[in-house]
């Protein structure tokens, strides 16, 4: 606990001494969220619309007209099976576009934010090696995250047995462990690439309580702010904007706090 309090104090001092740099970090964070929001509105929203169209179409199919011996030619896919194919194709295209946008934004824009954060603590950090390491770790993490999330969703959708729930639990634990290790690795992006896995694994084993507490503090702050937003959503526009700025700043603060904790341990 003493280490956590000391890191919190150091993080606040860093913010006080580097107000202009922190403002830049806030702007970059807003840019990152802005790009993701715009991308989601142009890809995920249409993808969701196509998914709803497929569900509504399938729900309206009269299964009494289906010939069990020849389901694919006798109504199982309805009168317009191409509608399902075309919408499914759109869902895949929109999803791929969003994933690519997210990967590039996370690796480059968010990577720059992590670099500037690290620069506040380690003045000798070099931009290009840091970004390359950050991008590689990010891509590996996000691909693993997506793969596990896909399998988790598939297990939940296609079964409700105790075995499925057990598999879902195992996948959730695996997802949490990968996220835990990956974020520690991201904080070591200023090191040589071959040293990062060793340092991340070593720290994750040596200081789990300190690191997990750091994660929980950051998550708790965001939950509180999201709760406040849910209450004031329709009350006052400028108050909502202010709380959203505080929420965005909480991501900046959490990143500074996390990097300080990693640097001290």
pLDDT in tens, 116-143: 998 888 777 788 889 999 999 988 888 8
What integer pLDDT is reported at residue 166 of this predicted model? Answer: 74
Q: Taking 80 as the threshold, does the pLDDT of residue 16 lie above it?
A: yes
What integer pLDDT is reported at residue 163 of this predicted model? Answer: 67
Average pLDDT over residues 8-24: 89
Could you tell me the residue range of the domain that residue 254 belongs to? 2-264
Summarised one tens digit per residue, pLDDT across range 157-179 is 555 556 667 777 787 888 888 88
User: Which has more pLDDT, 215 or 69?
Assistant: 215
**Residue 65 binned pLDDT confidence (cut-offs 50, 70, 90):** low
What integer pLDDT is reported at residue 78 of this predicted model? Answer: 59
Residues of the chain with pLDDT > 90: what percent? 12
**Residue 58 binned pLDDT confidence (cut-offs 50, 70, 90):** confident
**Residue 74 binned pLDDT confidence (cut-offs 50, 70, 90):** very low
Q: Taking 80 as the threshold, does the pLDDT of residue 41 lie above it?
A: yes
**Residue 113 binned pLDDT confidence (cut-offs 50, 70, 90):** very high
Number of compact structural domains in the chain? 1
* pTM > 0.85: yes or no: no
Summarised one tens digit per residue, pLDDT across range 215-254 is 888 888 888 888 888 787 777 777 878 888 888 898 999 8
Q: What is the dihedral of CA 82, 87, 91, 93, to 10 degrees?
A: 70
What integer pLDDT is reported at residue 116 of this predicted model? Answer: 92
Q: Taking 60 as the threshold, does the pLDDT of residue 63 lie above it?
A: no
């Amino acid at each position: 606990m003493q280490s956590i309090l000391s890191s919190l104090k150091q993080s606040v001092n860093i913010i006080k001494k580097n107000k202009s740099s922190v403002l830049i970090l806030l702007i970059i964070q807003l840019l990152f969220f802005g790009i993701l929001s715009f991308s989601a509105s142009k890809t995920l929203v249409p993808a969701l619309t196509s998914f709803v169209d497929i569900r509504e179409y399938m729900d309206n199919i009269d299964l009494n007209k289906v010939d069990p011996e020849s389901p694919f030619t006798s109504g199982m896919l309805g009168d317009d099976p191409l509608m399902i194919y075309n919408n499914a194709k759109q869902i895949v295209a929109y999803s791929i576009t969003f994933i690519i946008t997210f990967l590039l934004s996370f690796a480059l824009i968010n990577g720059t934010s992590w670099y500037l954060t690290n620069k506040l603590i380690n003045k000798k950090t070099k931009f290009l090696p840091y970004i390359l390491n950050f991008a590689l770790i990010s891509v590996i993490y996000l691909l693993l995250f997506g793969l596990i999330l896909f399998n988790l969703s598939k297990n939940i959708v296609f079964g409700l047995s105790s075995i499925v729930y057990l598999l879902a639990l195992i996948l959730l634990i695996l997802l949490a462990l990968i996220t835990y290790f990956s974020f520690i690795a991201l904080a070591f992006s200023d090191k040589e690439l071959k040293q990062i896995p060793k340092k991340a694994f070593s720290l994750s084993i040596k200081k789990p309580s300190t690191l997990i507490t750091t994660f929980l503090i950051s998550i708790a702050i965001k939950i509180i702010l999201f709760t406040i937003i849910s209450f004031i959503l329709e009350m006052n526009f400028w108050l909502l904007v202010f709380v959203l700025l505080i929420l965005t700043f909480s991501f900046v603060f959490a990143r500074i706090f996390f990097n300080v904790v990693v640097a001290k341990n």
